Amino acid sequence: MSRKRVCVLISGRGSNLQALLDAEQDAYEIVLVVSNVPGAGGLARARAAGVEALTLDHKPFGKDREAFERELNALLRARHVELIALAGFMRVLTPYFVNAWAGRLINIHPSLLPKFPGTKTHERALAAGESEHGCSVHLVTEEVDAGEILGQARMPISADDTPDSLAARVLTLEHELYPRCLAEYARHLR
Ligand code: GRF
């Protein structure tokens, strides 16, 4: 079985990218990392692993999200990418891009979806008095954080937890969950 060619899209430090790089085995190969933010920490992680790392700054495209995505799409197609993993990629993608990559675009989100889509998930989980929290890997569809859930990892919330303590513990779970789900999904993708 050939390894699926994966692109990871990032905007920041790239700790999930690192986990995906470290876990590469027979199911997938990261062939490209693209950041929409110049200087994102994850770019250096990719280069250190010998992976091509590019910046595609969204700012010059202004409000034209699709123009940015057409450029991104061209980079991906040129490298025969088969599967895209979003890892802290902080741009909402338009229906044009999401539909072009339907079933081949996955994301990790720091909550137990369908609870707390969107931002500030740790604050919201505490404010809601949840007894547990965690992270979800899901397919990306037009509606934000609403696609099919591929896997989840959960943990209890304790009385002295803060948004920061939750963020740290959830991130540890993410680093274990994401590579496992990506590999599993890649293995079954035609
Ligand atoms: C993670 O919490 C992920 O769930 C969210 O953005 C964060 C990215 O962190 N989508 P990192 O850049 O992978 O360290």
Instruction: State the closest ligand 1 atom to the C-alpha of 171, by its place in the atom list counted from 1.
Output: 2
C-alpha of residue 182 to centroid of ligand 1, in Å: 15
Question: pLDDT at position 74, please?
Answer: 98
Instruction: State the closest ligand 1 atom to the C-alpha of 135, by its place in the atom list counted from 1.
Output: 4
Could you report the per-residue pLDDT of 126-142, keeping only the tens digit for each?
A: 999 999 999 999 999 99
Sheet with 52-55, side-by-side order of all strands: 52-55, 28-35, 4-10, 83-86, 105-109, 132-139, 149-156
- Per DSSP, 186 falls in state H
Q: What is the CA radius of gyration of the chain?
A: 16
Q: 3-state DSSP call for residue 10?
A: strand
Question: pLDDT at position 96, please?
Answer: 97
Task: Provide residues with CB under 6 Å of ligand 1.
Answer: 12-16, 87-88, 108-110, 171, 174
C-alpha of residue 16 to centroid of ligand 1, in Å: 6
Say how far apart CA 46 and CA 48 lie, in whole Å.
5
Could you report the per-residue pLDDT of 141-188, keeping only the tens digit for each?
A: 999 999 999 999 999 999 999 999 999 999 999 999 999 999 999 999
CATH-assigned architecture of domain 4-110+136-153+179-188: 3-Layer(aba) Sandwich (3.40)
Say how far apart CA 8 and CA 113 lie, in whole Å.
21
Q: Tokens representing 135?
A: 């992270």
Query: Active site includes 138?
Result: no
Question: pLDDT at position 82, please?
Answer: 98
Domain ranges within the chain, ordered by starting residue:
4-110+136-153+179-188
H-assigned helices in 23-109: 41-48, 65-78, 95-100
Decide: 166 and 125 in contact? Cβ < 8 Å. yes
Q: Tokens representing 131?
A: 């007894």
Could you report the per-residue pLDDT of 75-126, keeping only the tens digit for each?
A: 999 999 999 999 999 999 999 999 999 999 999 999 999 999 999 999 999 9
For the cut 90, the answer to whether the pLDDT of residue 1 exceeds it is no
